[in-house]
Structures are given as C-alpha cells and as structure tokens.
Structure 1
Amino acid sequence: MAFVHAHSLRFHVQRLPAAGPDGTRSDRTDRSDEPVVVFLHGLVVDNLSSFYCPLALPTARAGHEVVLYDLRGHGRTERPATGYDSRTAVRDLLALLGALGLGHRRVHLVGNSHGGTLALHAALDRPDLVAGLTLLEPPLSGAWVENMVDTLSAAALSLEGSAVPTELLGLRLRKAAHLTAIADELLNRTSLIDDIAASRTFTPADYARLRCPLLIVCGEHSELVPGAKELARHATQASTTLRILPGLGHDVLKESSGALRQAVLAHLGATAAVTAARAGALAP
C-alpha cells in the first residue's frame, strides 16, 4: 500500500511493474515509448481492489506498467467535501501522474462503469496524453445520470443516521461495515450526488473527436448497450471495437474475467505497439 500527495489530497495508489508471465520483474528499463495502463474504478463502494486480480495483475504480467488508485473520496483516498465532478477527476489524474514521475508518459485508461466516463472525459480533454481507452460498461446517457442520481439519493436517505454499520461490526462483518460507512460519508457529507447531477453528458460530436484506439465492453443484457453502440457508431476517427459479452448484465468485470481479460490484453498490446511505432517515427 502506498499513499501519494497530489492536487492537495492524499491518494491511495498501487503500482505494478511490467513483468513476465512467471511474475518476475521485466529486465527492460526504457519503456518511455509505451503507455502506462491506469485503471479507474466505479462509484461509491468501488475501489482499486476490484481490478487487482481480474485485470491488473494479468496486465502487468503481459509486460505493461500498471497504476491503480482509489478515486477522490473512495477507498483509502482522502475524502474532501467537494470536487466529485469529471473535470476535477481529470485534474486529479494529471496531478497524480506528475507526483508519480509519470507526467512525461502517455497512458492507456481502463475505466469501469463511472470510471469509464472519467476515462472518456480525460481522452477528450487531453488527447495528447491518452494513447488508448478501454471502457467497461460505460454509462454515457443523460437518462443514466438521472437514474443514478435517483438511486444515490434514495441510498443516502436510507443511510443517514442508520445503525447498519454498527450492526455489521457487531456481526464481525468488518469489510461490509467499512464500505457502508464510506457510502454514508460520500452520499451524505460530500457534493458527490450534486456533482453527478450537474455532469455534462456526451454528444456525437464528442465521440467524433476521439482519435485513440478504443475498446468498449458491455454485457448482453446491460441497459448501457445502446449508449455503447452510439459511441462506437460516432467514433469514426478512432479504431473502435465493441464487444458484447453474451449472457451478462452490467458487472462484466466480476462475471466474465476470462473473456474480458483476453479482450483487454489484446487491445492493450495493440495500443502499445501503435504508440511505440508512432514514437519511433517521430524520433530524430
């Protein structure tokens, strides 16, 4: 576990060096022409641990440098009262990369659920930084924002003044108690719900500005499939792949580690090769 100070916050961060299939550290030292793979998790009770075994370790063993971190207010990262909008999240990411000594490197962003929307915002705001995108179940429509705000507001009411965390501790369910307490703090003591309600939704013109390789993965029965298809349809300047995993709903990260891992690693490898080739072409 490591804590890094960036953008006036203390972030919980994990870094995994590039390694071989046997898990030993790669002996390569110069990787400046390859993207660092950065994972962005979902909302409220999610944190970096959801990526660790399904994708982060396999990604490192496939030869990629990996950064995982708990987003502002989530997990073990500091929980300020404000700043849960997408623009602040992008600034958090940039500051964190700088604090880690990676400000000169391009990144491949892997975002799950809400983390996917943050990754897309980063790619649109900083196309010079983002070499590739992998979006897992990205919520892209205004209807999703409205539904999520309603869901989070209802959850906030149920948690306010609730004895559930104490009761869970009494049952020795420490992890559940901890996550419930975090949810209560985020929903009732920060601007998270208001910031999401005020968030800017994407347009076809936004998608048309994308230039980096893009992989979108959704479950067959997910309500987010129409938005993913719209993104794929309008991202005409990007090399775009849409994968619909049969028999699954929203949580493809937990329910389909094998097929998902195969698709993501193939996309990461292809993006790294393209980025390295471009860097070589630009070298004097």
Structure 2
Amino acid sequence: MTRVPLSTTPLPPLDPALPPWPGGLERDGGTTLHVRRTPGMDGSTAVYVHGLGGSSTNWTDLAALLSPAAAGRALDLPGFGFSEPEPDFGFRLADHAEVVARYVAGLGAGPVHLLGNSMGGAIAMMVAARRPELVKTLTLISPAMPDRRPDPRRLSDPLMALAYLPVVGAGVRRRMAGLTARERAAQVIALCFDDPARFPEQRLDELTVEHSARAGFAWAAQAMERSTFGIFRQWTAFGEDSLWSIATRVRVPSLVIWGLHDRVISVRRAERTARLLPNARLLVLPRTGHVAQMERPNVVARAVLGLWEGAGQGDW
C-alpha cells in the first residue's frame, strides 16, 4: 500500500453545529443544478459529487475543513437533493458525468480539485478520464467500482438490496415508503456509517428534513431507481466502457480513500482501484464505513490536503 502523506497544515476548528452551506440553482455549461457554495481561497476550486441517494449536504464538514485551501462547490446531481432533472435525462453514469463536466467547464475557473463519493466517485473518475483538462486532482471516497458478488448481508436492511430489482422491487419499495422520513434517514446512516452513534443528532434532523422535502418531488423516486440501474449497467460493461478500464485512463494525481468496514462497496475493491489508477495512492481507514468524509472528516481533510500539496509541488 502506497504511503499517503497527511498534511500538517492546521485545519480550522470544525463547528459541530455547522448548518449546511447555502445553496441555490446555478446554470453553468448549459445545465441547471442545485449547488451549495463554500467560500474559500481565490484561484482554487473544489467540486464535490455525492453518491446514490445522497446530496450536497454530504460534504458540509469536509468542505468547511478544506475552505482555507479552496472554495467549494457541492453539487446535487440531477434527480437528487434539490436538482430537478431535465425530462429526457438518461441517469446513466455517463449522463451524470457529462453534466458534471459541463458544470465544471462552465465555471471557467480552470482545472478543479474533483472529489466524489460512491456513485459520485465513479462519476468523478469518468470526468477525469474523459476531460482531463478540467481536473487538477481526483479524490475518490469508496467509489462505486464493479462488484458482481454483492453480499446483501452487508446491508443494515436486506430490503434495500431488493428494492430496485425487477418484479419484486415495486412491492419492496411500497413497503419502504411506509417508513417515516426520520426512519428512512436513520436507515441510511445505519448502512453508511461504521458506528451510527457518531452521526450527530443535528445532522439526523437535517437529513430528516431533506427526506421530507424530497418526498414531495415527483421525480425523486424515478431518479433513484434509474440511477441504480445505471450503476448496475456500468458494472456489467466490458472493454473500454468498463470502470476498471476507465480507471487506467486517468492521468491526474489521485487519492483513493476507503472505509475498512464499508457495507455498501466492499473494501476488497480498494487495492485494485488504486493500482489501476496510474498516479494514485490508497488510504484505508479503520472503524470507518461508506462515507468517510462524514464519519472521519478531519483525517480525510488531511489526506486530501496532502494530495493537493503534493500535486502542487510535483511530488505525488
């Protein structure tokens, strides 16, 4: 495993009561997205891409810790958070990647530090491979790399493994729809955190409010279902379209971070992912689940800063 330098640059204190960063609809590169902006150093921009079922609020703490080094733009992908998708949006990973690339290009800020978690990690990797001129560095946190042997026992609720399957999925989704917004939020945290007790009560309140709001969006369920199928389709792709092949075409300095106790995308994918990326290092965090940026924001911030500093000095 390649050594990952953790930056010694002092981090700002993290306010446990920090609310989500302000957000609004932005139209850059011909696409409209809900984006949360974090103020930061002029001339350096970080773009954050969430995972399946997530949103821009998944990056609140990490964006705060990294703000002295880069202004932040946390995106809600089409159909997630508060980004209403275009009527003809396809929901393939490639479709999401095209939207992210258009947004970054539309910023006109030059190459950005691109960070992605889970599905957002796979999307960010596709952007870096296909549009290298847009990306300065790439950070992948438990990216959704192909796992053709998923184990439903890794899930906090095995129903979640069935919810988007043909035939049986509709009934399972109806059953899950009977949960309250807070029950759904708690279920997500139980799945994604190694220790759900680490998730602050205030954050659970915020997630509950977001789930309640999204329950009123007619497009939300379809976005979740079709994006899930988009991941499965990408996992079965072969040749140049395989995510493993796409990884080999990334040329920018890259960092792969994985939670040792990830119950969503197994850590057994970590070493191969980092090995195939031509210029990558791997950090595996103990006592950490699927969303390391939320569960271990300080150590993730130090690792990301280590990447940025090393890449800036040509020492990565």
Query: RMSD of aligned C-alpha atoms?
Result: 3.4
Alignment partner of 1:270 out of 281, 294, 310: 310
SS of corresponding position for 1:58 = helix
Aligned to 1:12, what secondary structure does the other structure show?
strand
- Residue 117 of structure 2 corresponds to which residue in structure 1? 112
1:72 aligns with 2:78: yes
C-alpha separation between the residues in 2 aligned to 1:193 and 1:137?
16
Aligned length in residues: 252
Alignment check: 8 A CA contact 1:134 1:214 kept? yes
Supply the distance in 2 between the matched residues of 1:167 and 1:229 (Cα, whole angstroms).
35
Aligned residue in 1 for 2:25: 3
Matched residue, 1:48: 56
C-alpha separation in 1, matches of 2:181 and 2:282: 44
Distance 1:179 1:269, change over 3 A: farther
Unaligned runs of 5+ in 2: 1-22, 153-159, 184-204
Distance in 2 between the 1:263 and 1:4 partners?
Answer: 30
5+ long unaligned stretches in structure 1: 20-27, 276-284
Structure 2 letter corresponding to 1:42: G
Partner of 1:249: 289
Shift in CA distance, 269/191, structure 1 to aligned 2, threshold 3 Å: same
In the superposition, relative to structure 1, how do residues 156 and 260 fare at CA in structure 2: closer, same or farther (>3 Å)?
A: farther
Which structure is richer in relative contact order (CA contacts within 8 A, separation 6 or more)?
2
Trace 1:49-198 onto structure 2 (pairs within 5 A): 49-53=57-61, 55-61=62-68, 63-80=69-86, 82-102=89-109, 105-143=110-148, 150-153=162-165, 157-160=171-174, 162-164=177-179, 174-180=209-215, 185-187=220-222, 191-198=226-233
Q: Is the 8 A contact 1:165 1:178 kept in 2?
A: no
Maintained 8 Å contact 2:33/2:83:
yes
1:118-143, CA deviations, whole angstroms, 9 ceiling, x for partnerless residues?
Answer: 01111111122222110111121142
Choose the corresponding residue for 2:301, options 261, 265, 271: 261
How far, CA to CA, are the matches of 1:133 and 1:260 in structure 2? 13
SS of residue in 1 equivalent to 2:81: coil
Match for 1:234 among 276, 280, 283? 276
**CA displacement at 1:271 relative to structure 2:** 2.8
Contact 1:6 1:92 in 2 (8 A): no
Distance in 2 (alpha carbons) for counterparts of 1:66 and 1:188: 25
- Preserved CA contact (<8 Å) 2:114 2:135: yes
TM-score (norm 2): 0.68
Q: Distance in 2 between matches of 1:155 and 1:183?
A: 18
- Report SS of the residue matched to 1:78: coil
